[in-house]
Amino acid sequence: MTSRDLAHYETRNAICEYGRSLLEDDLTTGTGGNLSARLDDDLVAISPSGVPYDDVTPADVPVVKTDGTVVEGEVEPSTELPMHLAVYESRPDVGGVVHTHSPYATTFASLGEPIPASHYLISFTGTEVPVAEYRTHATAELGEAAVESLGEEFNATLLRNHGVLTADESLSDAYTVALMVEYCARIHHQAKAIGDPEILPDDEIDRLSDKLDAYGQ
């Protein structure tokens, strides 16, 4: 096995592991949601379509070109492939994308309400989690809406009446953002049920983002 093949295998295996984590962390149900990782400038690995996460093996994880052509894998890629590819095309800084149906964040997506900075951990995503316009799932139009909402400054967006999309430098980072989005959504929901949450100003969130970037280095 060449070093390139080994790297591809490790990434495809990571997609299997994080797929199982989606269920364990209550970020989705059944076979909902999907994950991907950039392998190089031309190739992306993405979770397969319709296979229970517990059953997915690295060989099942498709590798596709940036035009959507499958070059490796024994199962069809996720139907949300167009959305993932749209993010990679528009954001060269992104190395991993995670799409979830996490319950608290998806509640806000169904309301069409952004998640504001009522908790400092929103700084993993930006100054808020914005909401993308509704588009039919598994379409290029959904990818366009997600990309427009993410812009250059956000690492997450709510997909209206659908779920959550996160994007970051690696699959691991994008998964962490997905966890933070759900946590912040839950805290904001609970705070709203009691009273009026206090919202942190943008400059404080920007300062916190800089601290997070330097954390552990």
**Predicted TM-score of the model (pTM):** 0.96
DSSP assignment letter at 47: P
For residue 216, is pLDDT > 60? no
What pLDDT score does 217 carry?
Answer: 43
What pLDDT score does 171 carry?
Answer: 98
Sign of the C-alpha dihedral computed for residues 46, 158, 115 and 187 taken in this order = negative
Annotation says 10 is catalytic? no
Burial class (CB in 10 A: 0-12, 13-18, 19+), 66: middle
Structural contact between residues 166 and 156, judged by C-beta atoms closer than 8 angstroms: yes
Average pLDDT, the chain: 95
Structural contact between residues 63 and 72, judged by C-beta atoms closer than 8 angstroms: yes
Annotated catalytic residue, options 72, 80, 128, 141: 80
CATH no. for residue 32? 3.40.225.10
Burial class (CB in 10 A: 0-12, 13-18, 19+), 155: buried
How many structural domains does the chain have? 1
What pLDDT score does 214 carry?
Answer: 67
Strands of the 156-159 sheet, one edge to the other:
70-72, 63-65, 43-46, 34-38, 96-100, 163-168, 156-159, 131-132
**For residue 212, what pLDDT band results from cuts at 50, 70 and 90?**
confident
What pLDDT score does 74 carry?
Answer: 82
What pLDDT score does 5 carry?
Answer: 81
Closest CA to 121 of 209, 39, 190, 26: 209
Per cent of the chain over pLDDT 90 is 92
What pLDDT score does 211 carry?
Answer: 81
How do residues 71-89 score in pLDDT, each as one tens digit? 998 899 999 999 999 999 9
What is the C-alpha separation between 212 and 160, in angstroms, rounded?
28
Q: Which of 51-65, 99-113, 153-167, 200-214 has the lowest mean pLDDT?
A: 200-214
What is the C-alpha separation between 211 and 123, in angstroms, rounded?
10
For residue 193, is pLDDT > 60? yes
By residue range, what is the domain housing residue 144? Answer: 3-214
